[in-house]
Structure 1
Amino acid sequence: MPGSPDSAVTRRAFVVGAAAAAGSAALAGPLAGAASAAGFGWSDDGSHYVVDTGADLVFKVGKTNGDLTSLVYKGTEYQGYGGKNSHIESGLGSSTVGIRQSGATILVSVAHGTLRHYYAARSGENNVYLWTHKADSSVSATRYILRVKAGMFLNDQPDSYTYAPTTVEAADVFRKADGQTRSKHYARLRAIDYDYTGWSTGGVGLWIVRSNHEKASGGPFYRSLLRHQSADGGGLYEILYYGENQTEAERYGLQGPYVIAFTDGGAPSSALYHGMLTTPWADSLGLSGYVPDSGRGRVAGVGIAGRDTAYPYTVGLANAAAQYWSAARASDGWFSIPRVLPGTYTLTVYKGELAVHSTRVTVAAGATTALNTITIPASGDPSAARAIWRIGDWNGTPSGFKNADLMTYAHPSDVRAAPWTGNVVIGSGTETSAFPCYLWKDVNSGLLVHFRLTAAQAAAAHLLRIGVTTAFANGRPQVTVNDIWTSPIPSPPAQPTTRSLTVGSYRGNNHTFTYSVPASAWRTDTGRYNVLRIDVVSGSGTTGYLSAGTAIDAIDLLV
């Protein structure tokens, strides 16, 4: 779902790198790192291992806890705020920390219980490569946070709350004096949309280049924290597992590399992007859970038939151990997913964000699993069903509905949001844009849809479908037609139990509610409007925008 018209430029220049945008400025130092740069090496100051990359970057790692305690680029310290260091989660505490040099690579290893964490430096590069191996739930490790000193990089973007002192919700959503809302949750982008996150002053850029999220959870369309900026400093994140609005169980194993990268102000080199980066130099480092490219396979498909060319298609692979995805080529649906761990996966084809086909594939090390043309069956895409009328389209997102373009980077109470109330008339030409993307029990429940039927249509029973993309507090739609017929209260589908609609995410489990409306519910006078009322029902939730709610994908009345 796109942001506001002016947000794309801001996002690319200052917030995160779009997956399609190539890095425009090369990093200092050769990424290949064949020869040792002058000054490359490490020392021990008693409390820290001090690593000099031989370029413009020197960093320190605490010998007792594995914290990144210093990050000096061109003589300026960037690390830390509020007396806190950069580290896994909120810091591991007492850990076993070691260091060794192997040719053009220096590796710092951190062991804490069953968790292993690594920092690597390559000679002549202004990068720090990180891996995190979480073996089980005995150690908390859901993120790596790079803490950055206050005043180094300034911004007033959705994920900033430097100038937003009024709390709107919990302790992490804020309102500025002009009514715009800010939160670290409002990152806008899905995992598939970005390669890096960070800031630039124009002369210095500091970035985290994300890993391939092989061991993360949530799939290609998942949103999680990317960065934040507040009065005390800033934070850049690599999320290992984020419980907010989560649809999958946590995966264990090695995640990485993800890269802390300094530049002269431009984007990080595209050679560091997860789809481009290769690390043969790490094959012999002994990283826990590390699988070299030679131990991986590939899945490739010659095309996808039955696509709606108005939408992008994505192919995903997932099992309990790993996840991967790739965009399908717009012209024919060709796709390729490289560097896949051996195993059997569910392959899912998504139209937009809606799953329209799935099958099973098996991947072997060193081999390509080649697939013939995949044909999406008519039953897989709800849009194929003939409808008397339809609001929106079936694509797994609220795209096109009222306020949908704002909700990934603002709170529903934001001054920029159009009123959440208001009824809809079929045939007006504004059915979708006038229909709110979200419905809440305490905000706009009871929304009315007006429509006419022909005599033949009014003489028959019809199926009404309401597709949703997620729900909060078990909010689900109950419908009433002409105050004559009311549907039973549907059972709530499985959905995430955390906040979603108010923290920038409409993504949960796509679900379709189907209602069998009898012919006796329709008006027989074809000159009069039929009236459909949609109420949100639930015994959970609180008030306002935290009352039970749901996000809309599409609504239609079938022939």
Structure 2
Amino acid sequence: MSGTPDGAVSRRAFVVGAAAAAGSAALAGPLATAASAAGFGWIDDGSNYVVTTGAGLVLKVSKATGDLTSLVYKGTDYQGYGGKNSHIESGLGSSTVTLAQSGSTVLISVTHGTLRHYYAARSGENNVYLWTHKADSSVSATRYIVRVRAGLFRNDQPDSYTYTTSTIEASDVFAKSDGQTRSKHYSNLRAVDYDYTGWTTAGVGLWIVRSNHEKASGGPFYRSLLRHQSADGGGLYEILYYGENQTEDERYGLQGPYVIAFTDGGAPSSALFHGTLTTPWADSLGIAGYVPDSGRGRVAGVGITGRDTAYPYTVGLANGAAQYWASARASDGYFSVSRILPGAYTLTVYKGELAVYSSQVTVSAGATTTLNTIAVPSSNDPSAAAAIWRIGDWNGTPNGFKNADLMTYAHPSDVRAASWTGNVVIGSGTETSAFPCYLWKDVNSGLLVHFRLTAAQAAAAHTLRIGVTTAYANGRPQITVNDSWTSAVPAPPAQPSTRSLTVGSYRGNNHTFTYSVPASAWRTDTDQYNVLRIDVVSGSGTTGYLSAGTAIDAIDLLV
């Protein structure tokens, strides 16, 4: 990209990477080399520390604020837009900034109150390693943003609003003239789905390779903004804590390393991924809160029984200080979680995104905690209960419901969305695909489900269950059967208080509402359909897609 004019507007490809996609990526530069590259070193230009890696990358860090003020790769400066630098949050302001060199590593340390932030550059590499240590809530630090000059990586993807300025919600959701929607929130990825994010052209790739998120919050299925692109410029994010749609309190301590990586157009090296990256060269640099691999432990499980093999299983570890996760092997449920900070953790087994097992485990430094086979009781999986009929399946997500796939990268008003209204007939074969993934008080409340019962079924009381994955403004379902019996208004479960359904996330707290329907509510004529009406109730919310709403996991009528 060297020599590209500032005003270039040609559309180029984007890439958001998953681990599986990058195993064969070429190395961007030597990693952990002890040899010094030609030209490696640093100078103080009076305002900035200027570090040259000797591999085509030159970076500048402000001595006054700790901002990254320049990021030159092979002659082109990629940093900055709108007069803003790359930095923690929206810039820390006055800070104490120091530099130290240790062999082939230059470390720049930034101190702002109780916050510590670090940049490390290595000889012969086109990478910048970053750590952020947030000790408490006295300093706002929820993200690092790499601000990228306009015109270098223009695109028209879901998280780009380059070609639209029409705001349809708040100041961050936009509509194009063709009715499609765009927002920086529409990453379409969960934390477990990606190792890096960024853009590529024929000659340059610019990426953030994420950290292990041990000090982040929300678990493996949390969704957050990862990048944005507009006519003003682009941004790549490492989210340290993002208050939107959060289900957990903020964790404090050191997060990192996360890496700003340049390549010659390909994906970043898999050697930089959080699951494979080792940084023994940083062990003695004095980074606040840094725990080397020797001070960490591992948990390994020999297997998980009682699984539904139609679904992937994930094992998570979490306490108030850290979080980790790993996939369970499809064949037998074996799992291994490495590089864990010592302590006591809650271990959770997820079927899809639905928690189906929980226990406690203790991790010790330098040791492996080996767990015997975990048996998931059938009673822990709602799918195991015998049902007269079921819409969807119990997996903690609205997958398979109408519009579910679109909603992780578009607004509900998007022209590509199928109608949010429409009723459902059990036995039609389209029960799930015809049922909207989201219900709102002001959009499609009062949805009807038609079903028949046998004489024996109609003579008995039954339990109806509605599983949800999140709710907005305390939206929850109240049911009416045949206009003759109406349930009480259920209490609202604990859910995030911020937007969710309109910013690409159904992830909140899974909850099951249960309703005991008396036999007197059913129609005794077996040729007639029973009619279930589902209303969304709440005294909160506004109008339209910001009225009270909820996301559906599954609905069933038990035997």
TM-score normalised according to structure 2 size: 0.97
Q: Which residue in the other structure is 2:260 paired with?
A: 260
Query: How large is the RMSD of aligned CA atoms in angstroms?
Result: 0.7
| Structure 1 gap segments, 5+ residues each | 1-12
CA distance in 1, matches of 2:69, 2:33: 25
CA distance in 2, matches of 1:281, 1:390: 55
8 Å CA contact 1:28, 1:55 repeated in 2: no
Q: Which residues in structure 2 correspond to 1:215-364 (within 5 Å)? A: 215-364=215-364
8 Å CA contact 2:467, 2:552 repeated in 1: yes
Q: Which residue in the other structure is 1:3 paired with?
A: none
CA distance in 1, matches of 2:28, 2:449: 59
Q: Which residue in the other structure is 1:514 paired with?
A: 514
1:344-371 CA-partner distances (Å, limit 9, x unpaired): 0000000000000000000000000000
Q: Which residues in structure 2 correspond to 1:120-139 (within 5 Å)? A: 120-139=120-139
8 Å CA contact 1:25, 1:263 repeated in 2: no
CA distance in 2, matches of 1:449, 1:25: 50
Q: Which residue in the other structure is 2:163 paired with?
A: 163
Q: Which residues in structure 2 correspond to 1:187-226 (within 5 Å)? A: 187-226=187-226
CA distance in 1, matches of 2:39, 2:376: 58
Deviation of the 1:33 alpha carbon:
1.7
CA distance in 1, matches of 2:197, 2:282: 24
Secondary structure of 2:136's aligned partner: coil
Deviates most, 14-23 or 381-390: 14-23
1:34 counterpart = 2:28: no
Q: Which residue in the other structure is 1:501 paired with?
A: 501
Deviation of the 1:21 alpha carbon:
2.0
1:140-192 CA-partner distances (Å, limit 9, x unpaired): 00000000000010110000001122111000000001100000000000000
Q: Which residue in the other structure is 2:181 paired with?
A: 181
Secondary structure of 2:545's aligned partner: helix
- The residue type equivalent to 2:94 in the other structure is S
Deviation of the 1:382 alpha carbon:
0.3
Q: Which residue in the other structure is 1:72 paired with?
A: 72
CA distance in 2, matches of 1:69, 1:26: 28
Deviation of the 1:22 alpha carbon:
2.4
8 Å CA contact 2:19, 2:270 repeated in 1: no
8 Å CA contact 2:32, 2:281 repeated in 1: no
8 Å CA contact 2:36, 2:104 repeated in 1: yes
Secondary structure of 1:431's aligned partner: coil
CA distance in 1, matches of 2:439, 2:316: 29
CA distance in 1, matches of 2:232, 2:55: 29
| Structure 2 gap segments, 5+ residues each | 1-12
Q: Which residue in the other structure is 1:10 paired with?
A: none
1:295-330 CA-partner distances (Å, limit 9, x unpaired): 000000000000000000000000000000000000
Aligned residues: 547
CA distance in 2, matches of 1:179, 1:451: 36
CA distance in 1, matches of 2:266, 2:558: 52
- The residue type equivalent to 1:513 in the other structure is F
Q: Which residue in the other structure is 1:541 paired with?
A: 541
8 Å CA contact 1:44, 1:50 repeated in 2: yes
- The residue type equivalent to 1:349 in the other structure is V
Q: Which residue in the other structure is 1:453 paired with?
A: 453
1:214-237 CA-partner distances (Å, limit 9, x unpaired): 000000000111000001000000
8 Å CA contact 1:318, 1:347 repeated in 2: yes
Deviation of the 1:343 alpha carbon:
0.2
CA distance in 1, matches of 2:276, 2:91: 30
Q: Which residue in the other structure is 1:8 paired with?
A: none
**Matched residues, percent identical?**
87
1:455-484 CA-partner distances (Å, limit 9, x unpaired): 000000000000000000000000000000
Q: Which residue in the other structure is 2:557 paired with?
A: 557
Deviation of the 1:15 alpha carbon:
2.9
